[in-house]
Chain A
Amino acid sequence: MAIVSLSNVEKRFTKGREVVEVLHGIDLEIAEGDFIALMGPSGSGKTTLLNLIGGIDQPTAGSVVVAGQELVGLSSKKLAQWRAENIGFIFQFYNLLPVLTAQRNVELPLLLTRLSGKQRKRNADVALQIVGLEDRARHKPGELSGGQQQRVAIARALVADPKVLVCDEPTGDLDRDTADEILGLLEILNKEHGKTIIMVTHDPKAASHARHTLHLDKGLLVEAVT
């Protein structure tokens, strides 16, 4: 069964008189447990598409069903609740809170759950273990390398055990070796933990870690390789 199902999705941005047509009628199905690389030239609408799947933006037309939930028309509050349960986000620039230790950054999404303080801490430790950073729990982001920061961000995306991970150029800011480590980690999360992963990337080598690659060009999916 498809965990992501988009039909006839359009997205337009209007700024004053100017109208930018970004997505022109996208149809897309992603199976649960898949690992998708989304490629395409800059400005083709990759981030825009990812944001729709992640439920942080709404399409101009069409339907977006993710993890069994139609996202179009949900209130901002309902969407927030839905994201907390179903989606983990990983960004190019990590977006960790600089004032919090690695462990507390990871714990952050759990503040929205009913878990006790102790349980939250334990889950955060487990997530840090999965990404291999248990010995850096007390360090702040400023004291970690880029690759380590991205691992913390991955642990944070994982900690609430979402079904889907959406990653926007997660290795875009890292060197080759570090990027490979991160991609290896994503593969493990996909294979061993059953996470469905949708990853935007410019890098064909990064895409090769995925099971499937999708190409977006001028707002259309031009070729869906199976």
Chain B
Amino acid sequence: MNKFSLVWSNLFRRKVRTFLTLFSVLVAFLLFALLRTVVVAFEGGVELAGVDRLNVSPKYSIIDPLPVSHRNEILNVEGVTAISQQSWFGGSYQSPTNFFPKFPVRPREYFQMYSELIIDPAQLEAFENNRIGAVVPAAMAEQFEWRLGDRIPIEGDIYIKRDGNKLWEFELVGTYETPDSAFLSSAFLFNYDYFNEAIPEQMQGIVSWFTIRVENPDEAAEVAARIDAVFENSRNPTRSATEAEFTRQFASQLGDIGLMMNGILSAVFFTILLLTANTMSQAFRERIPELAVLKTFGFTDFSVSALVLAESIMLCALGGALGIGLAALVSGAIAPVVESLLGSFQLTVTTMASGMAIAVLLGVVVGLVPAISANRLQIVDALRK
């Protein structure tokens, strides 16, 4: 036996209580590590170099779209070789819970831009030639049991037809394969020209964002800067970024991710602080006579308080380590899915280290009062009880 095993045995005096506390601390740090990983993914800078596709979106807000007339000006920028466009249609199929993006696009240029999406050339041609034609990912067609030739009703919300009709009807003319399940590349696609003619005049000619191909991936950053410079002083300034960056921008407009996460974490840690503080002070009170006995043997005030503090730190550090370890497993498992959305989703060393530092700090804070009481404990008084 050594002092470590002494602390360790004391920790498991009340097994149920210790395991419950340990479990709560574990959950808190699991949450901490995962949420921090999300924040890091959102806040992390994205390397522009090396990508051959960029998104050009409104500088300030996705709600405030770009004029379609930007197309030609963008195509004229040096280093841009191709362009495609998407508009955020909103709308719902049968029920708002069937949540998938719907984009009016220009068929051929869209599939040229997203060459990883695979479509039968005959179906692409049918898509181009059918005004109300639509194509969807094969998985989506399967999910909703759509067959080629089916009429698919979509209820518009942002866009209503100029005759006041909310109901849009599309004919399924093809399906395509997507290499990943990324949200934005699994869209319900239909003809921009049909869409643009059907909507009220004052809404026509707008685009939510453009996607461009750059000639030389090494110059992606320069091309982005050049595009944004063109529109800098126009009524519709742009922001050119990688697709991953764009997805993040898109999500972060739903709310300040960092602030939200920190809010959640503060609440979690406050709760955990109260909980573990309660456990430790209970554990301390139960043991007052034992601690006094240790002092009779010659344990100094300092060493007795160190034992109490060590116990609290050990409990929190163990919970922290288990939680962070579990987060490493979980984040590893979900990374492939999340990465297609956010670009990078990795539990960083910084997150792990700061998690452990917080765990130790939690142990110190929670153990401090019991440790001070243990230090001041008078043997004679404690033994009389």
Contacts and interface: CB of A to CB of B under 8 A. Distances in A.
Interface string A180-224: 000000000000000000000000000000000000000000000
A109 B298 contact: yes
A100 B300 CA distance: 20
B380 interface: yes
A28 B158 CA distance: 99
B9 A85 contact: no
Contacts of B299: 80, 112
Contacts of B12: 99
A56 B298 contact: no
B235 interface: no
Interface in A140-177: 156, 160
Contacts of A104: 1, 9
Interface in A28-86: 51, 54, 56-57, 76-77, 80-85
Nearest to A153: B293
Contact of B379 (A56, A82, A99, A120): A56
Contacts of B293: 89, 91, 95, 97
Contacts of A120: 1
Contact of A80 (B9, B10, B298): B298
Contact of A83 (B13, B296, B380, B383): B296
B295 interface: yes
B98 interface: no
Interface residues of A, number: 31
Contacts of B9: 97, 99-100, 104
Contacts of A10: none
Contacts of A132: none
A110 B295 CA distance: 13
Contacts, number: 72
Among A87, A99, A104, the most chain B Cβ lie within 10 Å of the Cβ of A99
B10 A83 contact: no
A111 B6 contact: yes
Given A56-B379, A99-B13, A111-B6, A84 B298 contact: yes
A81 B298 contact: yes
Given A91-B383, A99-B9, A99-B13, A111 B2 contact: yes
B87 to A, nearest CB: 68
Interface string B288-302: 011001111111111
Interface of B is mostly: helix
Interface in B53-96: none
Contacts of A98: 13
A24 to B, nearest CB: 19
Interface of A is mostly: helix
Contacts of B289: 95
B300 A51 contact: no
B172 to A, nearest CB: 70
Contacts of B298: 80-85, 109, 112
B57 to A, nearest CB: 62
B297 A108 contact: yes
A95 B297 contact: no
B6 A77 contact: no
Contact of A109 (B10, B297, B300): B297
Among B2, B6, B298, B383, the most chain A Cβ lie within 10 Å of the Cβ of B298
B301 A76 contact: yes
Nearest to A77: B300
Nearest to B381: A57
B308 to A, nearest CB: 14
A84 B290 CA distance: 16
Interface in B327-385: 379-380, 383
A31 to B, nearest CB: 24
Given A89-B297, A95-B290, A97-B9, 18 more contacts: A54-B296, A76-B300, A76-B301, A77-B300, A80-B299, A80-B301, A97-B10, A97-B290, A99-B13, A104-B9, A108-B1, A108-B6, A108-B294, A109-B297, A109-B298, A112-B297, A112-B299, A120-B1
Interface of B: 1-3, 6, 9-10, 12-13, 289-290, 293-302, 379-380, 383
7 contacts: A51-B379, A54-B296, A95-B289, A97-B9, A108-B1, A112-B297, A156-B297
Interface of A: 51, 54, 56-57, 76-77, 80-85, 87, 89, 91, 95, 97-100, 104, 107-109, 111-112, 117, 120-121, 156, 160
